[in-house]
Amino acid sequence: MAQIRIENVRKEFGAFTAVQSSTFTIEDGEFFMLLGPSGCGKTTTLRMMAGLELPTSGEIYIDGEEVGQRPASQRDIAFVFQMFALYPHMNVGGNISYPLRSQGMSKADAETKVREVARILGIEDILSKPVGGLSGGDRQRVALGRAIVRDPKAFFMDEPLGALDAEFREHMSEELRALHNRMRATTVYVTHDQLEAMQMGDKIVVMNHGVVEQFGVPQEIYDWPATMFVAKFLGSPSMNFLTFQGNVAPNDSAVLVGDARLTIPTVRETGSGQLTLGFRPEHVTLEDDAPIRGRVLASEYLGTTQIVTLTTAFGEVKARVPSDRVVPIDVTTGIRPDPRSVTLFDTQSGRALR
Ligand code: ATP
């Protein structure tokens, strides 16, 4: 079990900075997600925590001990790679016991430990089978068994389910989460899939261009994005952005979006110039007398709800409304964002005004 803290950690590859100065803490026993688009620096951040890459500057602490310049072998962690490579010439038990045997543990002790791990993973009945004929799911379980058998302080996983089809992926992510609930070992997990991050993570770091944009529990990041990038990256369809010229003051949190006056109780900062009003499709109602006017472009049926797309003078809006509501194409209607769920951004910096 381990707490992992990274402080002002930075990574340069030649003239290119892959990770800008980053600071955050992963608490003992957390399932922690590093989330962001391709190339944002999440794998590099993970590899630095694991000791597979050394930081250019900054410190990495595991349980209060600075390990930043130590190699992986001296960090007591286990790395689970995307491709679950198994040793093909060994059976399941041999694959799982390998890390113990190579540390010099006796055969009898290793066997006891392997049985315990196999019981946790539900693979006791295949211990003597060759790995060649195993199903994809069993191969993943064997690879996980090999990672957990040493009781490492922490697990590091880089898109471990990336290569799987959607259905199997969902099944394995549930298994991983259930395994974590039983073991409670600190786990750091890289993904570019926002849904996977929200479903599995106790906490999420969102990265973009080597910068930590936000760090927090999934609900906080989804409901209170710190930047327009985070707002856009999480949620599907993503947050609506209406851009307008205006100003907002702490003692009067009303803004004028064209002629429409909206009070936003969540804003306490001052902002002026180009502002962006952000609200999620599920936080909009369509009402004839609502102040922002929009023309219906399309409607997409999704079962109990439909996504209605409207065009306004300030940008496009998607609204999630009940399917039984009839919303004819080309009709002009009013759009009312729920003021308690609106985030106001400074458009140029992309930062939320709070
Ligand atoms: P992906 O999901 O595509 O792996 P990522 O967010 O995990 O993306 P990283 O793999 O951390 O991103 O890479 C961040 C940036 O650093 C990328 O632009 C990548 O090309 C660059 N990079 C990573 N490793 C090296 C290296 N060894 N030498 C040079 N550049 C590198």
pLDDT tens per residue across span 139-186: 888 988 888 888 888 999 998 887 777 877 888 888 889 888 888 999
CA of 211 to the centre of ligand 1 (A): 13
* Whether residues 262 and 113 fall in one domain: no
Using most ligand atoms within 8 A of CB, pick from 6, 9, 10, 13 the residue to mutate for ligand 1: 13
* Whether residues 162 and 254 fall in one domain: no
pLDDT of residue 248: 82
Q: How buried is residue 166: exposed, middle or buried, by Cβ count under 10 Å (0-12/13-18/19+)?
A: exposed
* Whether residues 209 and 273 fall in one domain: no
Spatial distance between the Cα atoms of 184 and 264, rounded to a whole number of angstroms? 40
pLDDT of residue 137: 81
* Whether residues 277 and 225 fall in one domain: no
Whichever domain contains 324, its CATH number is 2.40.50.140
* Whether residues 153 and 62 fall in one domain: yes
pLDDT of residue 144: 84
Which protein residue's CA is at the shortest distance from atom 16 of ligand 1? 18
| 125: containing domain | 4-229
Count CB neighbours of 105 within 10 A.
17
**Ligand 1 interacting residues, C-beta cut-off 6 A:** 13, 16, 18, 36, 38-44, 192
pLDDT of residue 84: 65
**Residues in the chain with pLDDT values less than 70:** 1, 81-84, 251
- Contact at 8 Å (CB) between 285 and 305? no
* Whether residues 319 and 269 fall in one domain: yes
* Whether residues 81 and 204 fall in one domain: yes
Which protein residue's CA is at the shortest distance from atom 7 of ligand 1? 43
* Whether residues 79 and 196 fall in one domain: yes
Mean pLDDT, all residues of the chain: 92
CA of 38 to the centre of ligand 1 (A): 8
Q: How buried is residue 255: exposed, middle or buried, by Cβ count under 10 Å (0-12/13-18/19+)?
A: buried
CA of 230 to the centre of ligand 1 (A): 20
Whichever domain contains 29, its CATH number is 3.40.50.300
CA of 215 to the centre of ligand 1 (A): 20
| Count: domains in the chain | 2
Which protein residue's CA is at the shortest distance from atom 5 of ligand 1? 39
The helix/strand count (H/E) of the chain reads as 8, 21
* Whether residues 280 and 201 fall in one domain: no
Q: Which residue type, as a one-letter code, is found at position 269? A: E
Ligand 1 atom nearest to 19, measured from its CA: 14
> What ipTM was estimated for this complex?
0.96
Q: Are strands 292-301 and 332-337 parallel, antiparallel or unpaired?
A: antiparallel
Backbone phi and psi for residue 229, each to the nearest 5 degrees, phi listed first: -60, -50
The last residue of a domain, from among 229, 247, 277:
229
pLDDT of residue 139: 86
Using most ligand atoms within 8 A of CB, pick from 43, 159, 192, 212 the residue to mutate for ligand 1: 43
CA of 19 to the centre of ligand 1 (A): 9
pLDDT of residue 206: 98
Distances (CA, A) of 210 to 21, 228, 236, 281, 354: 8, 16, 24, 29, 24
Q: Where are the alpha helices (DSSP H) in 192-326?
A: 194-200, 218-223, 228-233
Ligand 1 atom nearest to 36, measured from its CA: 6
- Contact at 8 Å (CB) between 147 and 155? yes
pLDDT of residue 168: 76
Spatial distance between the Cα atoms of 158 and 162, rounded to a whole number of angstroms? 9
pLDDT of residue 59: 98
* Whether residues 218 and 129 fall in one domain: yes
pLDDT of residue 152: 85
CA of 191 to the centre of ligand 1 (A): 13
pLDDT of residue 150: 84
pLDDT of residue 39: 96
The last residue of a domain, from among 211, 229, 247:
229
* Whether residues 149 and 52 fall in one domain: yes
pLDDT of residue 83: 54
Spatial distance between the Cα atoms of 254 and 266, rounded to a whole number of angstroms? 10
CA of 77 to the centre of ligand 1 (A): 22
CA of 167 to the centre of ligand 1 (A): 28
Ligand 1 atom nearest to 46, measured from its CA: 11
* Whether residues 122 and 243 fall in one domain: no
The last residue of a domain, from among 213, 229, 245:
229
